[in-house]
Amino acid sequence: MEEGVAILARTPAALDALLRGLPDGWIAAHEGGDTWSPFDVIGHLIHGERADWMPRVRILLEHGEERAFNQFDRFAQFAESEGRTLPSLLDEFAALRQQSLLELAAMRLTDADLDRRGRHPELGVVTLRHLLATWVAHDLDHIVQISRAMARQYSDDVGPWRAYLRIIRETPS
Amino acid sequence: MEEGVAILARTPAALDALLRGLPDGWIAAHEGGDTWSPFDVIGHLIHGERADWMPRVRILLEHGEERAFNQFDRFAQFAESEGRTLPSLLDEFAALRQQSLLELAAMRLTDADLDRRGRHPELGVVTLRHLLATWVAHDLDHIVQISRAMARQYSDDVGPWRAYLRIIRETPS
Shortest CA gap B149–chain A (Å): 9
**Are A157 and B122 within 8 A, CB to CB?**
no
pLDDT category at A106 given cuts 50, 70, 90 is very high
B contact test, residue of A93, A114, A135, A140 with most B CBs within 10 A: A140
Task: Confirm if B17 and A19 have CB atoms less than 8 A apart.
Answer: no
Residue A172: per-residue pLDDT: 54
For the segment B87-92, the average pLDDT, to the nearest whole number, is 98
Residue B84's pLDDT is 96
Contact B165, B158 (CB under 8 A): yes
CA separation (Å) from B83 to A94, A164, B31, B76, B79? 35, 29, 22, 14, 9
**B1-16: b (≥16 Cβ within 10 Å) or e:** eeebeebbebbbbbbb
User: In the structure, what pLDDT confidence band is assigned to residue B169 with cuts at 50, 70 and 90?
Assistant: confident
Residues of B in contact with A140 (CB under 8 A): 147-148, 150-151, 167
> In degrees, to the nearest 5, what angle opens at C-alpha B106 toward C-alphas B104 and B109?
65
Question: Half-sphere exposure (CA, 13 Å, Cβ side) for A157?
Answer: 19
Interface confidence (ipTM) of the complex: 0.96
User: Which of 17-36 (B) contact A at CB < 8 A?
Assistant: 17-19, 21-23, 25-26
Average pLDDT taken over every residue of chain B: 95
Q: At A162, which amino acid appears?
A: R
Please report, rounded to a whole number, the percentage of residues in chain B having pLDDT higher than 70. Answer: 98
Minimum-distance CB partner of B148 among A120, A144, A151: A144
pLDDT tier at B77, thresholds 50, 70, 90 = confident
CB B97 within 8 Å of CB B49: yes
On average, the pLDDT of chain A sits at 95
Residue B103 at interface with chain A, using a CB cutoff of 8 Å: no
Nearest chain B CA: its distance from A150 CA (Å)? 8
Answer yes or no: are the C-beta atoms of A119 and A125 closer than 8 Å. Answer: yes
Percent residues over pLDDT 70 in chain A: 98
Cross-strand pairs, B126: B118
Inform me whether the C-beta atom of residue B14 falls under 8 Å from chain A C-beta atoms: yes
> CB of B128 within 8 Å of any CB in chain A?
no
Q: Decide if pLDDT at A66 tops 90.
A: yes
- Whether residue A18 and residue B144 make contact (CB cut-off 8 A), yes or no, is no
The residue of chain A with its CA nearest to that of B1 is A157
Nearest chain A residue to B16 by CA: give it. A14
Q: What is the predicted pLDDT for the residue at B173?
A: 45
Contact (CB<8Å) A22/B7: yes
pLDDT in tens, A129-143: 999 999 999 999 999
Predicted pLDDT of residue A173: 45
What integer is the mean pLDDT of B94-112?
97
3-state secondary structure of B155: coil
Q: What would the DSSP string read from start to end of chain A?
A: -HHHHHHHHHHHHHHHHHHTT--HHHHT---STTPPPHHHHHHHHHHHHHHTHHHHHHHHHHHGGGSBPPPP-TTHHHHHTTT--HHHHHHHHHHHHHHHHHHHHHT---HHHHT-EEEETTTEEEEHHHHHHHHHHHHHHHHHHHHHHHHGGGTTTTGGGGGG-HHHHSPP-
Dihedral sign computed on CA atoms, order B104, B107, B111, B116: negative
Strand partners of residue A124: A120
Query: Which of B14, B126, B133 is nearest residue A154 as measured by Cβ atoms?
Result: B133
How far, CA to CA in Å, does A92 sit from each of A12, A13, A84?
10, 12, 11
User: Does B136 score more than 50 pLDDT?
Assistant: yes
A22, A130, A151 ranked by CB distance to B158: nearest = A130
pLDDT in tens, A5-56: 999 999 999 999 999 999 999 999 999 999 999 999 999 999 999 999 999 9
SS3 call for B108: coil
- What 3 state SS string does A52-66 have? CHHHHHHHHHHHHHH
Taking 70 as the threshold, does the pLDDT of residue B133 lie above it?
Answer: yes
- Which residues, including other chains, have CB under 8 Å from residue A59's CB and lie 6 or more apart? A67, A69, A70, A118
The arithmetic mean of pLDDT across residues B95-111, rounded, is: 97
Partner-chain residue, chosen from A19, A131, A150, that has the shortest CB–CB distance to B140: A150
pLDDT band per the 50, 70, 90 thresholds, residue B171: low
